[in-house]
Amino acid sequence: MRVLKFGGTSVGSPESLTRVKDIVCAQEGPSFVVLSAMSGVTNELLQVLEGIKTSNPEGMASSIHVIAQKHQHLIDTIFVDEALRQEALDYVKAVLETLSNLYKTPELPNLYSEVITIGELMSTYVFSKFLQQEGTANACLRATDFMHIANGDNPAIAPVKSALDIVLAKQEQVSVYITQGFVCLDADSKISNLKRGGSDYSATIIGAALDADEVQIWTDIDGFHNNDPRCVDNTRPIAQLTYDEAAELAYFGAKILHPKTVSPVREKGIPVFLKNTFDPESVGTKISDDSTAKGLKAIAAKDGITAINIKSNQMLMAYGFLRKIFEVFEKYETPIDMITTSEIAVSLTIDDVTNLGQITEEIQQYASVTITKEQTIISVVGDSLISEGNSIHIFSILETIPVRMISYGGSTNNISVLVDTTHKIQALQQLNTALFETENI
Ligand code: ADP
Ligand code: ASP
Ligand code: MG
């Protein structure tokens, strides 16, 4: 079994969905297809949510109208079979009707997930009917029937596997199974989601549950590039990455992968291939345990970082002081990304500022706290990077940019620096030019 995941742009227009259909139909053996919502739809659903919460029926109706138009155009273009076209249209109408009615229940628990997962319901249904029109036997499965994810950060695969086995046992055998990415059930069996971009994660959770031969993630670019192509010129795809490298790059901001994507498949050694829907012949990237190349692989940047400096003249290096600080972050379930210490101060970074107020208040009881927002972590990632020696050049390359923190040596795969977000593009471009475009660094 192969798991194939297609992202928003891949399912975002009649032309691209036709490419997806061709890719799926060209597979040999059974496939499990995981789809995102059409591109733009999840963002529009966030507007709908805003309309519900702020009692703004016009705003909500206008976003629902945009979503309806997008699907209507798709359906009208891809279906020649009138009965199937009507079925697809009726389904979308019914789903959007239910969405409109959520206006009456703004207090509904899990309203956020109820609303923002609707795009995946529509894209999968339409695709299932599209394959049916092509004569490809398929089954469209409800992700909520098997994606039981009690802990989104580290989901247990066993409950997903048992539930999926039951769902599949009830199905007639078909060559293509289709389901919604991003959508899951939480510990209380209420609808939940795997966070923005979470369909990648759905694919690898399903891949691990099915003991799949491979997971393919199809998107709008020819694989994992050595730098963020949205910020830097002359990036190029990387043929192979290890699980560790891909995990570090995704965690430190490479948008092509949800940060948790590799964790479910890494232990089982299931390879993940990143492929381009719009250029299926291009090689793409293989993520696996095969480590062919040592040294530098890629650079990623993670925005929206807050730096917290904690200073205490008497206590910092006193026994137990760091534990006391970490306990506050643990209490408020706030992960720390980078950390550096000196004799009298500790600096650390977080990206989730939900509980920053309470965290600051508690730490201020025994130390002074300074907060700096709008920071960016830039991570240089590769295999055995630190032992390669060349990495020390990173600091001279960035000599014109004020670096606020450095993380070196925590992992042999990653060297990270913290810069003000206003310096991000300059830093990425300078590193790219010096590390990838110049022969002798
Ligand atoms: P999908 O909708 O298919 O999930 P995403 O938009 O989430 O696609 O991810 C693909 C995009 O990620 C690319 O179009 C590219 O702009 C961006 N991206 C950022 N960093 C990288 C990188 N290192 N390599 C490739 N793409 C990257
Ligand atoms: N549709 C969701 C999002 O836009 C999930 C995904 O595409 O992976 O974040
Ligand atoms: Mg994505």
Measured in Å, residue 5 CA sits from the centre of ligand 3 at: 10
Question: What per-residue confidence (pLDDT) applies to 437?
Answer: 79
Atom of ligand 1 nearest to the CA of 218: 3
Please give the distance of CA 404 from its chain centroid, rounded to a whole number. Answer: 27
- Choice among 30-39, 93-102, 402-411 with the minimum mean pLDDT: 402-411
pLDDT band at 150 (very low <50, low <70, confident <90, very high): confident
Contact 412, 384 (CB under 8 A): yes
- The dihedrals phi and psi of 240, each to the nearest 5 degrees, come to -140, 140
pLDDT band at 368 (very low <50, low <70, confident <90, very high): very high
CA distance 277 to 137: 22
Q: Is the dihedral of CA 194, 199, 202, 208 positive or negative?
A: negative
Does the pLDDT at position 339 exceed 50? Answer: yes
Could you tell me which of 394, 439, 387, 426 has the C-alpha nearest to residue 409?
A: 387
Question: What per-residue confidence (pLDDT) applies to 441?
Answer: 40
pLDDT band at 131 (very low <50, low <70, confident <90, very high): very high
- Cα distances from 241 to residues 237, 247, 272, 294, 432, in angstroms, run 11, 10, 10, 10, 18
Amino acid at 375: Q
Strands of the sheet containing 339-341, edge to edge, are 339-341, 345-350, 295-311, 368-383, 414-420, 403-411
Q: What is the pLDDT of residues 199-226, one digit of tens each?
A: 999 999 999 999 999 999 999 999 999 9
Q: Whose CA is nearest to atom 6 of ligand 2?
A: 197
**DSSP code of residue 411:** E
Does the pLDDT at position 439 exceed 70? Answer: no
Q: What's the CA dihedral at 415, 420, 421, 426 to 10 degrees?
A: -70
Q: Whose CA is nearest to atom 9 of ligand 1?
A: 256
Amino acid at 297: K
Q: Whose CA is nearest to atom 7 of ligand 1?
A: 256
Beta bridge partners of 288: 242
Helix (H, G, I), strand (E, B) or coil at 329: helix
- Choice among 74-83, 124-133, 338-347, 363-372 with the minimum mean pLDDT: 338-347
Q: Where are the beta strands (DSSP E) in 7-86?
A: 31-35
Measured in Å, residue 259 CA sits from the centre of ligand 1 at: 12
Q: Whose CA is nearest to atom 8 of ligand 2?
A: 197
- Choice among 183-192, 288-297, 321-330, 345-354 with the minimum mean pLDDT: 288-297
Could you tell me which of 29, 31, 7, 3 has the C-alpha nearest to residue 203?
A: 3
Does the pLDDT at position 337 exceed 70? Answer: yes
Q: Quick one: average pLDDT of 390-399?
A: 75
Q: Quick one: average pLDDT of 159-166?
A: 96
- Cα distances from 227 to residues 113, 224, 253, 317, 417, in angstroms, run 32, 8, 11, 38, 15
Question: What per-residue confidence (pLDDT) applies to 388?
Answer: 64
Could you tell me which of 160, 157, 156 has the C-alpha nearest to residue 147?
A: 160
Atom of ligand 1 nearest to the CA of 199: 4
Tokens of 238: 């990387």
Q: What's the CA dihedral at 332, 335, 340, 343 to 10 degrees?
A: 20
Amino acid at 248: E
- The dihedrals phi and psi of 16, each to the nearest 5 degrees, come to -70, -35
Q: Quick one: average pLDDT of 47-64?
A: 93
Angle between helices 199-209 and 157-170 in degrees, nearest 10: 80
Helix (H, G, I), strand (E, B) or coil at 133: helix
Measured in Å, residue 200 CA sits from the centre of ligand 3 at: 7
Mutate to test the pocket of ligand 2, among 4, 38, 196 (most ligand atoms within 8 A of CB): 196
Measured in Å, residue 194 CA sits from the centre of ligand 3 at: 12
Q: Quick one: average pLDDT of 101-124?
A: 93
What is the percentage of the chain residues whose pLDDT exceeds 90? 78
pLDDT, averaged across the chain: 92
Q: Whose CA is nearest to atom 9 of ligand 2?
A: 196
Question: What per-residue confidence (pLDDT) applies to 319?
Answer: 74
Could you tell me which of 123, 110, 104 has the C-alpha nearest to residue 37?
A: 123
Question: What per-residue confidence (pLDDT) applies to 243?
Answer: 94
Q: Quick one: average pLDDT of 64-93?
A: 98
Q: Which residues line ligand 1 (CB under 6 A)?
A: 7-10, 36, 197, 219-221, 224-225, 228-230, 254-256
Question: What per-residue confidence (pLDDT) applies to 440?
Answer: 43
Question: What per-residue confidence (pLDDT) applies to 313?
Answer: 65
Question: What per-residue confidence (pLDDT) applies to 215?
Answer: 98
CA distance 78 to 65: 20
Please give the distance of CA 307 from its chain centroid, rounded to a whole number. Answer: 23
Measured in Å, residue 256 CA sits from the centre of ligand 1 at: 3
CB atoms < 10 A from the CB of 439, how many?
4
Measured in Å, residue 2 CA sits from the centre of ligand 1 at: 22
Q: Quick one: average pLDDT of 163-183?
A: 95
CA distance 274 to 336: 29
Q: What is the pLDDT of residues 252-278, one digit of tens each?
A: 999 999 999 999 999 999 999 999 999
pLDDT band at 151 (very low <50, low <70, confident <90, very high): confident
Q: Quick one: average pLDDT of 162-170?
A: 95
Measured in Å, residue 410 CA sits from the centre of ligand 2 at: 31
What is the percentage of the chain residues whose pLDDT exceeds 70? 96
Of residues 321 and 31, the one with the higher pLDDT is 31
Does the pLDDT at position 109 exceed 90? Answer: no
Please give the distance of CA 298 from its chain centroid, rounded to a whole number. Answer: 18
Mutate to test the pocket of ligand 2, among 35, 117, 182, 183 (most ligand atoms within 8 A of CB): 182
Strand 272-276 with 403-411, pairing: unpaired
pLDDT band at 414 (very low <50, low <70, confident <90, very high): confident
pLDDT band at 301 (very low <50, low <70, confident <90, very high): very high
CA distance 25 to 7: 17
Of residues 396 and 126, the one with the higher pLDDT is 126
Question: What per-residue confidence (pLDDT) applies to 317?
Answer: 60
Helix (H, G, I), strand (E, B) or coil at 339: strand
Q: Indicate the pTM of the whole model.
A: 0.93
CA distance 400 to 426: 10
Does the pLDDT at position 173 exceed 90? Answer: no
- The dihedrals phi and psi of 147, each to the nearest 5 degrees, come to -85, 70
Contact 285, 236 (CB under 8 A): no
